């Protein structure tokens, strides 16, 4: 049996949250460019988080049956497809682009619900005597993802030299 890598968990959570943090602040600009109404803007903003909320238990159940690693790999591959779909959608115009962006964000949220699987993976590999030490990389992935997006936001506005 291979020794599990905590670095893989860190990178999984990091990629999920950086992807979320970079895209979310840009969504109102896309909505404005594609003339979205209030409902469409709300759908665009909420679709990712709603799918995470709804499908986190499903991913967890699937990882109990299939194993943590295969589920993480499948969900990461799905996230790659979702972000590529998002990039492709921005090449279109009008309502087609808007609905493709909403669909890609929905699919990205479905795939991004893997954070609970990452937490379960950490719990599985952590010896009972060192729970806090092993959970650190997961928490670092969360905070580095959020921190880097905040720094990017500040740099965009000329607040950082």
- Express each pLDDT in 12-52 by its tens digit: 888 788 777 888 888 888 889 999 999 999 999 999 999 99
Other CB atoms within 10 A of residue 106 CB: 18
Instruction: Return the SS3 of 67.
Output: coil
Average pLDDT over residues 110-114: 92
How far, in Å, CA of 132 to CA of 144, rounded?
A: 18
- How would residue 127 be classed by pLDDT, with cut points 50, 70 and 90? confident
pTM, whole model, 2 decimals? 0.77
CB-based contact 111:78 (threshold 8 Å): yes
- 114 with 59: CB under 8 angstroms? yes
User: C-alpha distances in angstroms, 14 versus 18, 144, 150?
Assistant: 6, 7, 14
Residue 103's nearest CA partner among 81, 75, 76, 72 is 81
Name the least confident of 4-18, 50-64, 88-102. Answer: 4-18
């Amino acid at each position: 049996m291979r020794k599990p890598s905590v670095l893989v968990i860190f990178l999984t959570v990091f990629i999920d949250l950086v992807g979320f943090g970079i895209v979310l602040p840009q969504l109102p600009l896309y909505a404005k460019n594609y003339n979205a109404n209030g409902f469409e803007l709300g759908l665009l903003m909420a679709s990712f988080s709603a799918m995470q909320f709804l499908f986190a238990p499903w991913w967890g159940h699937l990882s109990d049956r299939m194993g943590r690693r295969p589920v993480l790999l499948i969900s990461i591959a799905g996230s790659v497809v979702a972000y590529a779909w998002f990039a492709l959608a921005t090449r279109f115009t009008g309502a087609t682009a808007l609905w493709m962006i909403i669909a890609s964000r929905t699919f990205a949220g479905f795939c991004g619900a893997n954070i609970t699987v990452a937490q379960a993976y950490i719990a599985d590999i952590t010896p009972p005597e060192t729970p806090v030490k092993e959970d650190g990389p997961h928490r670092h992935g969360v905070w580095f993802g959020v921190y880097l997006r905040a720094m990017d936001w500040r740099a965009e506005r000329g607040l950082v030299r």
